[in-house]
Structure formats: structure tokens, C-alpha cells
Amino acid sequence: MDQVNTVPQETTIDLSSIVDSLDDIIRSFSQFMSRGSSSAHEQVSAVIPSLSNMPETNLDTHKVLDLVQDYANHTSDVLRDLKVLRRALPATYFKNRSRIRDAFEEIETTSAKCQANAFAIMDALQHHELMSKRSEHTADALRDVESRLKRVRNTLNRQAVTVKPAAMVL
């Protein structure tokens, strides 16, 4: 009879331990998430100086993606305009190693690098956004499990209280 009475109590203790562990996991995960967003804010601000004055809470990945997309588009426009200008200028400007030819090549190379960097930033931000969504989904799932375990623990606690008086009567 003692074994029957201690099962709900032992189960409640086990569930309490699980809930406490889950609380620790959620707390650690939340701290990790808050540090991650701060780090991302610092990294993006380093790459795009105009964002360094923007408060972190207002830093929206979509806004940054839009800015980087505009940057990539402007770079594409520069490359396109260089091609138009190259066709409009006399061919003699681009023969041999003239300063005009060297300047055009430098602008084209730099613009292509800028465009590649913009695409790399967009890829990184999209990856960051995806990972943030996955992490948030995981945190929500952990909170749901925690809530359900607390309900089970509370139910077992209520049952343990009602079982004890009945056991005493026997």
C-alpha cells in the first residue's frame, strides 16, 4: 500500500525536476537568443555604417535586406552605365594601357566586388532570419512542453492530496 501512495509523489518529484530543467533550458536558450541578435546587430552595423545609429529593437532583417538589395541594384546600374559609356567613347581610349582603360577596369572590378559582397550579405541575412525563426519555433515548443508538464505536475499534486486522506482512512 505504501508503494501505491508514493508513486504519485515520486512522479510529481520527477516531473518537478523535469520542469525545473526545462526552465533552465528555456532561460539559457533565451539568453543565447538575445546575445545572438545583439551580435548580428553589431555585425550588420559594421558592414552598413548608416545602421549603427539605429536602435537594435528597430533593426528589422527585411529593412536591412531591402537596403542591401538597393546597394546591389545601384552597383548593377554602375556596371551597366560603364558598358554604355565604353560603347559611346572612341575605341582608341581603350587600346593599350591608357589611364581611361585602367580607370574603367578598376571601376568594373570594384563594382563587381561590391555586388558580390552585397549578395553575400543578403545570403547571410536570409540565413540569419531563417535560423532566428527556427530558434523561435524551438523556444515556443519548449515553452509548450514546459506548460504541459506543469499541468501534469499540478494534476498529480492535486491527486496526491486527495489520495492521502483516503489512504489514511484504510
Mean pLDDT of the chain: 74
pLDDT at 12 over 90: no
pLDDT band, very low/low/confident/very high, at 157 (cuts 50, 70, 90)? confident
Q: Considering only 51-55, 145-149, 151-155, which range has the smallest mean pLDDT?
A: 51-55
Say which amino acid occupies 107. I
Distance, CA of 108 to CA of 86 (rounded, Å): 11
- The CA distances from residue 117 to 47, 75, 120, 121, in Å, are 10, 11, 5, 6
Domain locations in the chain as residue ranges: 2-169
d(CA 149, CA 135): 21
Cell triple for residue 63?
529593412
CA distance 17 to 35: 27
Q: Which of 48, 78, 82 is nearest to 65 (CA)?
A: 48
Average pLDDT over residues 83-102: 85
- Find the range with the poorest average confidence among 17-31, 82-96, 117-131: 17-31
